[in-house]
Amino acid sequence: MAYKYNYWLFIVNNKYLKLLQERTGYLAIGRSTLRNQGASGVIDVARVYLQKMNLKALGDVSSEVDFQRFLNRHTKALANKFPNGAKGNWGAARKALNIFLRDCLYNHYLRGWLEIKHVEEWLEVPLDGDVARNLYEMYSDELPKWTSIKSLTPDVSFKYQMAASKVSIKEEVSRIHLDVKYWRDGKFATVK
């Protein structure tokens, strides 16, 4: 007798969904994602934090202000967990969180389990040199010159996120998705 796979069994099995979050947290932060951030071990700390993060709280977020509080709280907490030399690195923590939340949104099972579809419009584009370079080319009169993730501050990040919001309106896509276009300066993109 053949085993019949129950598609929805996976969705309601919290044990496997938690494992999927752990896998996503590990894969979201590659070797190049947080290199040169001031200390060795930053990548491992970020992965562990993301794997254990209580994402179910996102289901209770009901406004952009609430979402920013959630994101700021976790940015500060992760930055403070980094090893000496990188401790307090706000930019690295924010980039890690934004990439991870994007990957959770892109995962059919996690998006449903976490009930996070409603936060898509508030998610930030993960900032890095490629994204910043593209935004700066369009809005150099409004943006400070990009330096690095390591030196990113909340104020500079906010300005780049506002520029990303302008682009997202023109592109008719949430700003979180701009990373897909700007990643590696679009060298892998085929859509014009």
Q: What is the pLDDT of residue 1?
A: 44
Report angle CA 116, 118, 119 to the nearest 5 degrees.
70
pLDDT tens digits, residue range 27-59? 988 888 877 776 788 899 999 999 999 888 888
Q: What is the pLDDT of residue 16?
A: 81
Spatial separation of the C-alpha atoms in residues 179 and 147, rounded to whole Å: 18
Q: What is the pLDDT of residue 45?
A: 93
Spatial separation of the C-alpha atoms in residues 182 and 49, rounded to whole Å: 26
Model confidence at 3, in pLDDT bands (50, 70, 90)? very low
Spatial separation of the C-alpha atoms in residues 30 and 96, rounded to whole Å: 10
Which runs of consecutive H residues, i.e. helices, occur in 53-177?
64-81, 90-106, 108-114, 129-139, 154-171
Tell me the percentage of the chain whose pLDDT exceeds 90: 55
pLDDT at 156 over 70: yes
Question: Can you give the pTM of this predicted structure?
Answer: 0.86
Q: Which residue has the tokens 């993060």?
A: 53
What is the rounded average pLDDT of the residues 5-22?
68
pLDDT at 10 over 80: no
The answer to whether the CB of 168 falls within 8 A of the CB of 175 is: yes
pLDDT at 191 over 50: no
Cα 20 to its chain centre, rounded Å, is 16
For 105, the token pair is: 């949104």
- Sequence letter at residue 181: K
What is the rounded average pLDDT of the residues 186-192?
47
Q: What is the CA radius of gyration of the chain?
A: 17
- Sequence letter at residue 84: N
The answer to whether the CB of 95 falls within 8 A of the CB of 124 is: no
Q: What is the pLDDT of residue 185?
A: 62
